[in-house]
Amino acid sequence: MNAFPAVADPFRRELVAHCYRMVGSVHDAEDLVQETYLRAWRAYDKFEQRSSVRTWLYRIATRVCLTALEGRGRRPLPTGLGGPRCDPGDDLVQPQEISWLEPFPDRDDDPATIVVGRESLRLALVAALQHLPPRQRAVLVLRDVLQWRAAEVAEALEISVAAVNSLLQRARAQLESVAPQEEQLIEQPEQRELLDRYVRAFETKNVAAIVELFTADAVWEMPPFTAWYQGRADIERHLRERCPAVPGGQRLIPISANGQPAFANYLRGPDGAFRAFNIQVLTIGPSGVSHAAVFLDTSLYAAFGLPEVL
């Protein structure tokens, strides 16, 4: 039993990413990995090493996630609720009963992304996964993200190989119907130049300059509010009429989330202190910013290792 931490701890971060793909919440994912390690520690003396420790831990984590998802609703983004785009002049609605999708913090040399690639954590993909029933979600992640063989998935989920193949076929069909098209990649120097302009425009609250960086049909959404806007004109109206910041009243700290460029945005209060305001995760292509997911839950700052006050 004393050997368990040494053999199991190297996989902790990638297991958090795995659970995050399953449940859509970095907070829940960390709790589920704790439960995974507790179960694994209790069973370690019975581990027969017929598979690798990594595979064994993923098997336990997947079952823990499936148990946790029983009776739970999915974690959407506002665009995933099925409602139409909103008018920026409408009142903002914040329903208490919805648990929203959360962003996932990236780290340098992160095994969570080195093992299977950053694209497997992209916000649009994780949002699309939430549309799948839990067992379909598990099969698709194990087969298409982790590249397990059908027989391995069948053993992990205690179902037949035929059932795995059927669930995978349905999951792929459903994912294709809800997943947005991937943006073309943009070269790093061009992306850096665009992001520098984005920061300058936000920190000076130059709304015209901000909107210029968005594509014509860009989407702006901001959980926990159900509203979402599409197109430069509506995004501009929202920023002019709803955003409480004044020129010089925001500080954007560059971070990375879900394998995408992101910012922690701090808003200056009456006392002059800059406090946590929102986390913005951007999707960028050759034509500009096509999607901004703006998370107003400031409890997420701790998950990114960020202070609540600058």
- Residue 233 belongs to a domain with what CATH number? 3.10.450.50
Q: What is the pLDDT of residue 112?
A: 53
Q: Are residues 231 and 146 in the same domain?
A: no
Provide the β-strand partners of residue 283: 291
Residue 219 inside a domain? The answer is yes
Q: Are residues 294 and 156 in the same domain?
A: no
Q: Are residues 173 and 271 in the same domain?
A: no
Domain boundary among 151, 178, 205: 178
Residue 308 inside a domain? The answer is no
Amino acid at 152: E
Q: Tell me the pTM.
A: 0.92
Per-residue pLDDT of the chain (310 residues; tens, 9 = 90+): 568 888 889 999 999 999 999 999 999 999 999 999 999 999 888 887 777 899 999 999 999 999 999 988 899 999 999 899 999 999 999 999 999 999 999 986 555 555 556 688 999 999 999 999 999 999 999 999 999 999 999 999 999 999 999 999 999 999 887 766 666 667 788 899 999 999 999 999 999 999 999 999 999 999 999 999 999 999 999 999 999 999 999 999 999 999 999 999 999 999 999 999 999 999 999 999 999 999 999 999 999 999 999 9
Residue 255 inside a domain? The answer is yes
Q: Are residues 251 and 102 in the same domain?
A: no
Check which CATH number belongs to the domain holding 53 and give it.
1.20.140.160
Q: Are residues 23 and 158 in the same domain?
A: yes
Say how many domains are in the chain: 2
Q: Are residues 121 and 204 in the same domain?
A: no
Residue 93 inside a domain? The answer is yes
Give residue 279's domain range: 188-303
Domain boundary among 134, 156, 178: 178
Residue 310 inside a domain? The answer is no
Q: Are residues 205 and 108 in the same domain?
A: no
Q: What is the pLDDT of residue 7?
A: 86
Q: What is the pLDDT of residue 49?
A: 72
Q: Are residues 56 and 193 in the same domain?
A: no
Domain boundary among 178, 196, 227: 178
Q: Are 251 and 274 in contact (CB under 8 A)?
A: yes
Q: Are residues 168 and 192 in the same domain?
A: no
Q: Are residues 267 and 146 in the same domain?
A: no
Residue 183 inside a domain? The answer is no
Q: Are residues 250 and 161 in the same domain?
A: no
Q: Are residues 144 and 19 in the same domain?
A: yes
Residue 309 inside a domain? The answer is no
Residue 72 inside a domain? The answer is yes
Quick: pLDDT tens for 83-133.
999 999 999 999 999 999 999 999 865 555 555 566 889 999 999 999 999
